[in-house]
Structure 1
Amino acid sequence: MNTFPARLDHIVLATPDLTATVAEFARRTGVVPAPGGVHIGLGTRNYLVGLGGCAYLEIIGPDPEQPVPSLARPFGVDALASARTITWAIAPPDLDAAVAAARARGYDTGDVREMSRRRPDGTLLRWRLTDGGSPHPSGLIPFLIDWGTTPHPSASGVPVTPLLELTATAPAPAHEEIRPLLTTLGTDLPLTEGPAAFSFTLDTPNGPATFT
């Protein structure tokens, strides 16, 4: 049975070598991720796989066809030695209201900023998201996203590998600190004690495949 954290929008799998990671994903799952598009000026591009429902997996890495950006690429891809599940995003019904409510309860989601990427067919997609603010040091608290009038990536004809499970581990005492923050954001995530890390399992043509 598929279990989704409340309001799950997408999981971010970041990599220093996008071509190699996409090929390895295809080898393990039997599913070839679809090109998502280019993050203009940020030096990255992505590939997408649907997770069932309105959720998807984003595989993001450096774009060799773009100049090296003046600032570090998103999600710390420049510092990665190998592919890693970095973070996740949720889509509240009202992004601005969710940010205000979280701040009122003592958690700063960060400012809301606009983002965009251009699909291979030339279509420019725009969305809004929180920039992280003062994220929990474990890195397990999701950022917030709002696609507005842009068609959701999960509805763009991408291949689907249903999500079976998304879990995480966190060291004490962060382990207990994370739960109320997730509740503040209106979501949840199965947590056990251990080093800060994510794990997700997909139902694929090659059988269940787990990524950490």
Structure 2
Amino acid sequence: MIDHLVLATPELAATVADLARQGLATSPGGAHDGLGTRNALADLGGGAYLEVVGPDPEQPDPGRPRPFGIDGLRGPRLVAWAVRVDDLDAAIAAARARGHDPGDARDMARVRGDGVRLAWRLTPLPSDVPAVAPFLIAWGDTEHPSRTAAPGARLESFAVRHPEPAAARERLAALGAADVTVERAPEPALHAVVRTPSGPVELA
């Protein structure tokens, strides 16, 4: 199942304000220490959420590129997505058996604004964005971020776009995401429509 969508931006506060003007409310997430980023979150219903991630002005320069191609962005962009699994090691092994290597698992953590520490495991974040193939994530005993993210929105549609849909579907099936819509397009892209009380918000 879709765990979350990643909307990367070069200016987190500005993007959060713009989404709010469109009716999509977010709540503060937390800082990713050492990566130079922080996020804001919106519940999308069904156990999924939107992560808006951008540079953290309160952190020093990380000395390496920020994830999701943030340093090269000129505006917000839907760049990645994650599939939630219960057993990450088993999911990695299954994907490799199907011909796709999602990479080795790594540990991550951040502290929420209320001081609660969240810890999770995931496969490597994409180096090229937008990433058609999802990364895999397992939350273990940690409270899922969707439970405390700003409510009110629902994911109306999500699609992967790729010039070779058959190849994209094969990769998604290997990662347990065969039910995700794949559309033909000249270039790889991600597209989502989020329904809010004020109407639909398009993320691309």
Give TM-score scaled by structure 2 length.
Answer: 0.94
CA distance in 1, matches of 2:130, 2:16: 26
AA partner of residue 122 (structure 2): L
Deviation at 1:196, TM superposition (A): 1.3
CA distance in 2, matches of 1:196, 1:157: 29
Give runs of aligned pairs for residues 74-153 of structure 1, distance below 5 A: 74-132=67-125, 139-153=131-145
AA partner of residue 183 (structure 1): A
Deviation at 1:203, TM superposition (A): 1.2
CA distance in 2, matches of 1:32, 1:181: 33
AA partner of residue 185 (structure 1): L
Decide which of 9, 13, 31 is 2:7's aligned counterpart.
13
Deviations 1:100-155 (A, max 9, x none): 0111222110110001111111221110000058x898720000000111100011
Gaps of 5+ in 1: 1-6
Assess if the C-alpha contact under 8 Å between 2:78 and 2:130 holds in 1. no
1:180 matched to 2:173: no
1:59 matched to 2:52: yes
Q: Secondary structure at the match of 2:79?
A: strand
Match of 2:181 in 1: 190
CA distance in 1, matches of 2:84, 2:5: 12
Assess if the C-alpha contact under 8 Å between 2:8 and 2:79 holds in 1. yes
Deviation at 1:157, TM superposition (A): 5.0
Assess if the C-alpha contact under 8 Å between 1:91 and 1:146 holds in 2. yes
AA partner of residue 198 (structure 1): L
Deviation at 1:32, TM superposition (A): 2.5
1:27 matched to 2:58: no
Report the identity percentage: 49
Stretch deviating more after TM superposition (57-66 or 103-112): 103-112
Assess if the C-alpha contact under 8 Å between 2:30 and 2:40 holds in 1. yes
Deviation at 1:209, TM superposition (A): 1.7
CA distance in 2, matches of 1:20, 1:161: 19
CA distance in 1, matches of 2:113, 2:129: 35
Give TM-score scaled by structure 1 length.
Answer: 0.90
Deviation at 1:158, TM superposition (A): 2.6
CA distance in 2, matches of 1:175, 1:158: 34
CA distance in 1, matches of 2:203, 2:42: 14
Aligned length: 202
Match of 2:162 in 1: 170
Deviating runs (4+, > 6 A) in structure 1? 135-138
